Amino acid sequence: MNQKVLIGIIAAIILAVGAVVILQHHKAAAASKDSEETNVPVNQLLAEAAQYEASGDKLKAKEAYDQIISNYPDYDNIEDVQNKLGELNIDLIFSPAQMPQTISYEIVPGDSLGKLARKFKTTPQLIKRANGLKSDVIRTGETLRIWTAPFNILVNKSQNVLFLKSGEEVFKIYHVSTGKDNITPVGTFKIATKIENPVWFRNGGAPIPSESPDNPLGSRWMGFDTDTHYGIHGTIHPESIGQQVTEGCVRLKNSDVEELFDIVPVGTEVVIQN
């Protein structure tokens, strides 16, 4: 190989390497620019969420809070953001706003709230609240907004928190009490019974009516399928929330358990973990 050919080959290699380096530099710069555009500063997202809430656009506010939780999980005040998002999600669940998880359903002859709740695996209370119904009466031809996505519940005993979820999305985090000496059972359960203003059938004693100040079950009971002694219920001791003090059940403030009761139907999966 003569010298001119060799020099030409070397020059071509140098030019090729240089082109690759320049291309990689441009790609890195573009990726950095895309990242900067995607990761909007947390303070800007907070301001946007507040503006959307003030204007009544709760769906846009939800998107802003979702971005903060997704992009800034280590943000110092992330718990405040989670609480705001939880409150907003509950407002949206109980509102007539159309969401990816909802449908518009036209009532046909023979429909009832109970029948629709069973058909779409939701609750009559949720249908009523989302549509502003004052009674159980529904009329043929009217259109109802109905939630169709299934909910599930995750309870973390070590943190004494309950996550209301739909799929992998966390809708709201509730503070709870769990069993003393770690006796709350771990595993996967289903809600088998739902009772408003439950009577307490204590072992070896007379039943305690719901209105009695000695009834520890509070205003709602959601019993598990595999052991009827355990479930999710309210409390007459709200100051105990956040502690491990129960006889094995998961205990919420009455206002929280009433909210949860209206959202989750019989059959909802409950996972309890340490």
Interatomic CA distance for residues 183 and 175, integer angstroms: 18
Nearest to 143 by CA among 130, 153, 152: 130
249 is catalytic: yes
Query: Which is the catalytic residue, given 25, 175, 229, 233?
Result: 233
237 is catalytic: no
Contacts 24+ apart (CB under 8 A), 69-75: 71/38, 71/39, 71/40, 71/42, 72/42, 75/42
**Residues noted as catalytic:** 233, 249
